[in-house]
Structure formats: C-alpha cells, structure tokens
Amino acid sequence: MTDDTRTSVAPHRVAFLGLGVMGYPMAGHLLRAGHAVTVYNRTAAKADQWLGEHGGQGAGAPTPRQAAHEADIVFACVGNDDDLRSVVLGEHGAFAGMKPGAVFVDHTTASAAVARELYEAAAHRGLHFVDAPVSGGQSGAIEGRLTVMCGGDAPAFERIRPVAMAYARACTHLGGPGAGQLAKMVNQICIAGLLQGLAEGIAFGQAAGLDMKRVLEVIGKGAAQSWQMEHRGATMVDDAFDFGFAVDWMRKDLGLCLDEARRNGAALPVAALVDQFYGDVQRMGGARWDTSSLIRRLRKPR
C-alpha cells in the first residue's frame, strides 16, 4: 500500500538512531509532527547539536538500548550492514531495550540478507522489523519528501506508515522481509544508468559546441526527461558536484546490487561498468563528490 498524503497522527514515543545527513532532518520532522523523540548518535556531539537546534525538545540517550526504551517505534539510518548490527544487537543494542510488540524501522541502505537476519532476530524477541530504505537524497530528507520502500509484515508496516509520513511523500509496502532493500537496489541500478547516459550526452554536446543548458531545457520537455536531468543536468554543465549523495555511498550501494545479482543470477552489465567508472572518480579525488560527477571522466583536461 502507498500513502502520499499527510493526515493527523496520534503522538507516539519514538527513537531515532543515527543523525547523519539523512537521519538528522528526519528526526526533526518526527518531532515537529508531535512525536516524543529520543535520539542516539555514535558521536554524542551530533545528538547534542540536534537537541540544541530543537530548543531542548526531545531527549538524548547514550546507547541505542536506552534510546529504544519504552519507544513504540525505533527508527534507524546508519551507514551499512555492520553499523546496523552494532545499533541493533548486543547488550547495548536497540533490541535489548525495546518493549514487546514495538517496531524497528531500518532506513539504512543495506543488504537484503541483513534485513532478513534482523527480522528473524526481532521475531524471536517478540518485536517487529521493517526494512525501509529511502530515496530522495539529503534534499528530500530536509524537505520531508522521501520515498520509502518497505519490506516486512503488512500489519507492522501499517503501524509505522502514518508516522513515517512525517518525512515522506510516499511510503509503500513491497513484500516480505528484504523486499524494501531489493527495491532500493532496483532504484540505484536505474539511477546509475541514467547518470552515465546524462554524462555522455552532456559531454558529447559540449564537444560539439552546443549550449548544453539550452539543449537540456529543450530535451527535458521530451522523452529524455528525468529527475536527474532536471536537478543535476545544469550543475553537471557547470562542473559543480557538491549536492549530497556521495560517490563513496553510491559504490557501496552498487556493491550491494552486484552481490545480490550474483546470488539471484541477474545480469547487470551496465551497473557493473558504471561501478568501475565511479572507481575512476574516486581515484580522481572525487570520493565525496555527488554521483553526477561521472561526467568528470569524460572531460578533456583543460
């Protein structure tokens, strides 16, 4: 089910683990929606900063377990599978502090395997787990317009959906545990191909002497239109790449896609090639450039 509307939601006690470029604004949206929010971040200073920005509203906790205590829903957005396990499992992990029947919602882009692993671990404790990676980038998190792709049990999804809509424009249940992560992989595979095509088109047009901003305005009204063209085309022409989602993170995501493809037998020739191209960008010093920096490979040295 998908919900792209914002309706009044009864306040919940929630925790948010991980206050990076995505989690920081997402937790703020939950607070502004009227929920009681407790935050945890590995670097405590970031949690203190978040609390200061919100006028002392909300609360901080020194461990995931303490943050999750008495929460109806625990949200997390961390870096990778190992980071996720570190905030979920063990003596100080969230699962150890969650009350029976509470729901853990993972917004990390991680593997489908770890989603299934933690779903089973949650079930053994009488908890619920929803894998819920997001698309929309840092700007989407700030504006509260993320797309959330969810896997897990439908009843648990229905409980968390109206709360997650505090920072989402759409929140969709796509199947059992791991389905959200698999859908995010599809998203990243599609984006990789789009960005490489856009990079090649712009580089070709510039080599031909065209005014590429004008060209993009024209073709953006036709079949070539895409979010990437609309939001990154002009900045690619300007050779500007400081817009959020970094090459390092895209390589991590494409690695997940390629690993899963090896398991399920899918062919990903373009994604594999673009992953190599992002390796070239990293070697050029572009590890923290955003993903549209693929065009740097195609430009002649000045």
* Domains of the chain, start order: 10-176 (3.40.50.720), 182-296 (1.10.1040.10)
Q: What is the pLDDT of residue 300?
A: 65
The full DSSP string for the chain is -EE---------EEEEE--STTHHHHHHHHHHTT-EEEEE-SSHHHHHHHHHHTTT-SEE-SSHHHHHTT-SEEEE--SSHHHHHHHHSSTTSHHHHPPTT-EEEE-S---HHHHHHHHHHHHHTT-EEEE--EESHHHHHHHT-EEEEEBS-HHHHHHHHHHHTTSEEEEEE-SSTTHHHHHHHHHHHHHHHHHHHHHHHHHHHHHTT--HHHHHHHHTTTTT--HHHHHHHHHHHTT---SSSBHHHHHHHHHHHHHHHHHHT---HHHHHHHHHHHHHHHTT-TTSBGGGGGGGGSPP-
Query: Using an 8 Å Cβ cutoff, are 174 and 147 in contact?
Result: no
Q: What is the pLDDT of residue 2?
A: 45
Distance CA 102, CA 130 (A): 11
Beta-ladder partners of 13: 36
pTM of the predicted model, to two decimals?
A: 0.93
Q: What is the pLDDT of residue 7?
A: 54
Mean pLDDT by 10 residues, the chain (302 residues): 57 97 97 97 96 91 97 97 97 98 98 98 98 94 97 98 98 98 98 98 97 97 96 96 91 97 97 98 96 92 54
Cβ neighbours for 275, distance < 8 A, ≥ 6 positions apart = 192, 251, 254, 255, 258
Active-site annotation, residues: 184
